[in-house]
């Protein structure tokens, strides 16, 4: 089990309700050291698109201000595309338990994304909690596979 994760939770207007639910769930999770709400805020849900939320989250991780992020938009796709534009960041949509597990154990993803228009709320909450519980093993054979991507990016 991982401990002390500095977590970001964010999304666009289409992911607002799930973002709020996941934020509330993980705020008091003992595996999480801190949770920051990246928005969008309740009083200005149209303030940002999925692109800027995804990039902001990824840049914060790249800059060492957080360890991981969970991002929600309508499909999870837009925030994943945006976060993946930041070199060194590996983001993926995850809507099932196996993919969520492998996103850490195989891919060492720092960002999990989900779609509020795709999966039910209870599944999204459960997947978020499961994801927090996985830790990448740097001695596993997956390390060298992830390193191929990092080398391409120069990270
Ligand atoms: O899901 C989204 C992007 O992947 C976003 O929440 C909605 O985007 P739209 O369909 O372009 O409004």
Active site residues: 73
The Å distance, Cα 75 to ligand 1 centre, comes to: 7
Instruction: Spell out which residues line ligand 1, taking CB within 6 angstroms.
Output: 12, 14, 50, 73-75, 77-78
The Å distance, Cα 13 to ligand 1 centre, comes to: 9
Domain residue spans of the chain: 5-153
pLDDT score, position 1: 43
pLDDT score, position 101: 98
pTM, two decimals, is: 0.97
Question: What is the mean pLDDT for each group of 10 consecutive residues in the chain (155 residues)?
Answer: 83 98 97 98 95 98 98 98 98 98 98 98 98 98 98 94
Q: Which residue has a Cα nearest atom 3 of ligand 1? A: 78
What is the rounded distance in angstroms from the CA atom of residue 99 to the CA atom of residue 76?
A: 14
CATH architecture assigned to 5-153 = 3-Layer(aba) Sandwich (3.40)
Going across the sheet that includes 5-11, the strands are: 32-39, 5-11, 68-73, 111-115, 91-93
């Amino acid at each position: 089990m991982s401990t002390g994760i500095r977590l970001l939770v964010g999304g666009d207007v289409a992911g607002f309700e799930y973002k709020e639910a996941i934020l509330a769930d993980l705020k008091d999770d003992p595996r999480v050291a801190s949770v920051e709400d990246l928005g969008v805020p309740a009083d200005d849900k149209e303030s940002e698109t999925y692109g800027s939320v995804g990039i902001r989250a990824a840049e914060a991780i790249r800059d060492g201000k957080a360890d991981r992020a969970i991002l929600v938009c309508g499909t999870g796709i837009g925030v994943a595309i945006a976060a993946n534009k930041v070199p060194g960041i590996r983001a993926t949509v995850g809507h099932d338990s196996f993919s969520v597990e492998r996103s850490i154990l195989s891919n060492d993803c720092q960002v999990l994304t989900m779609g509020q228009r795709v999966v039910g709320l209870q599944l999204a909450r459960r997947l978020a909690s499961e994801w927090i519980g996985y830790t990448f093993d740097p001695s596993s054979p997956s390390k060298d596979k992830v390193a191929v991507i990092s080398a391409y990016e120069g990270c």
